[in-house]
Amino acid sequence: MILIFTPSLSFGQIENRWQPDSVYSNRQVKKVFVYLNSPKDLSEIVEFDTTGKRIRSTKFSASYNKKTRKLKGIDKVSFYEYDSKNHLIRIIDSLKTDSTIFKYGNDNKLISSQKRLGNFVYETMYKHNPLVETTIRRKDSVIVYNKTKEYDKDFYVSRFYGFYLEPKLKNITDTIEGVPNTTAYKDYDDLEKFKDNKIIKNSFDSNSQLIKSEIKSIFLNDRINEYELNYSYYKNGLLKSIRGYIPRYFKYEFWD
């Protein structure tokens, strides 16, 4: 079974919205269509080759109503590259502004990756048995982002925690023609530390399918958000929907 892990860089909800690649290859999946909020709002298309490897993903702009749904456009197209051992070695977008490079050890296990998002560079180190990944971003010599992910069954995220540094928001007041004027600005020489901690309690059925995730998210040091995600499946075992918070729906196209 080939598992592909890519770092999650979002401060929002944690969703285990993908299945192991073996699930897609065993069912001859050609494309996965992901819909956000509504079964009509296409969010992403992921394409596979005949051997079950991901080769392309297309992400679409968000829509909020019927009018914006008709105006949806492509936000990003990514391509997946593999070596002679079928290891995923690079993901690159069509504009070549974002990319991820993966490195493997002598035992063929993933040991590190580097993701470029515009001017930002995220570096991830992986440990196995059990799988744990830690991602950092540096600004000069200072680590301004440090997040760790732990997994259930070496695939499903069970915890996501760490910190990031942001410029402090400050105010400056001056007087224009005798009228006081206050302006907010970010002080990049004075960084504030924010801690995040997301605990995900995953429940599985007798077939090891994820059926529920209970999530407690502590963000911005002390703000708490708790919600539940429920997963449903088609008869062939492919993910059909994720309900709760922001719902997602999935449809598939198959190889003949």
Strand partners, 1: none
Within 13 A of 76's CA, how many CA atoms are on the CB side? 16
- Tell me the three state secondary structure of residue 238: coil
Distance CA 196, CA 222 (A): 9
pLDDT digits (tens, 9 = 90+) for 173-213: 888 777 888 888 888 889 999 999 999 999 999 989 999 99
State the residue range of the domain holding 55.
24-81+222-256
pLDDT digits (tens, 9 = 90+) for 82-94: 999 999 999 999 8
In a domain, 93, yes or no: no
DSSP annotation of 182 reads E
Distance CA 212, CA 243 (A): 9
Distance CA 182, CA 12 (A): 31
Pull the structure tokens for residue 52: 């079950």
What does residue 177 show for φ and ψ, rounded to 5 degrees?
55, 45
In a domain, 246, yes or no: yes
Q: Are strands 210-219 and 142-152 parallel, antiparallel or unpaired?
A: unpaired
In a domain, 10, yes or no: no
In a domain, 28, yes or no: yes
Which band of pLDDT confidence, cut at 50, 70 and 90, is reported for residue 220?
confident
Amino acid (1-letter code) at residue 253: E
Distance CA 42, CA 61 (A): 9
In a domain, 193, yes or no: no
Amino acid (1-letter code) at residue 244: G
In a domain, 199, yes or no: no
Residue 25 vs residues 38, 50, 75, 133, 215: alpha-carbon distances, Å: 27, 8, 27, 25, 30
Which band of pLDDT confidence, cut at 50, 70 and 90, is reported for residue 13?
very low
In a domain, 90, yes or no: no
pLDDT digits (tens, 9 = 90+) for 175-185: 877 788 888 88
Q: What's the pLDDT score for residue 246? A: 85
Beta strands of the chain (E only): which ranges? 29-36, 42-48, 54-60, 74-82, 88-93, 98-104, 110-117, 120-127, 132-139, 142-152, 156-176, 179-204, 210-219, 223-233, 239-243, 248-254
Query: How confident is the prediction for the chain on average, in pLDDT?
Result: 89
Total structural domains within the chain? 1
- Tell me the three state secondary structure of residue 23: helix
In a domain, 33, yes or no: yes
Q: pTM to 2 decimals?
A: 0.85
